[in-house]
Amino acid sequence: MASLAGLAEALRTEQAFRQEAALLAAGIPASFLLAPDYFRRGELIACLLAVLAVELLNTAIEKLCDRTTPEIDPVIKAIKDMGSAAVFCALCMAGIVWIGAAIERFA
């Protein structure tokens, strides 16, 4: 139940997570249009789930950092920036996979 509580908290408090969850909601039916088989659909959906997972980890890191000190700290800023970079990498991965599937399907 802690997992569901974490998802609910993220949906309630994190705009980026809500946007990425909306992409997943749109991506599930879209995967049926793009992918010819179950395995490829699974890849498309899995990479969107990976984005959500990285976003949740980034959010957890940011919230933990915010609890350690209210002051601006260059080390904490660097930690938060690295978490943000991880989300960016996950989004790039998902984009590459989805663009590849679209090219494969329509080219």
Verify whether residue 55 is a known catalytic residue. yes
Catalytic residue among 9, 14, 43, 55: 55
- For residues 23 and 48, what is the distance between their CA atoms, to the nearest angstrom? 8
Active-site annotation, residues: 55
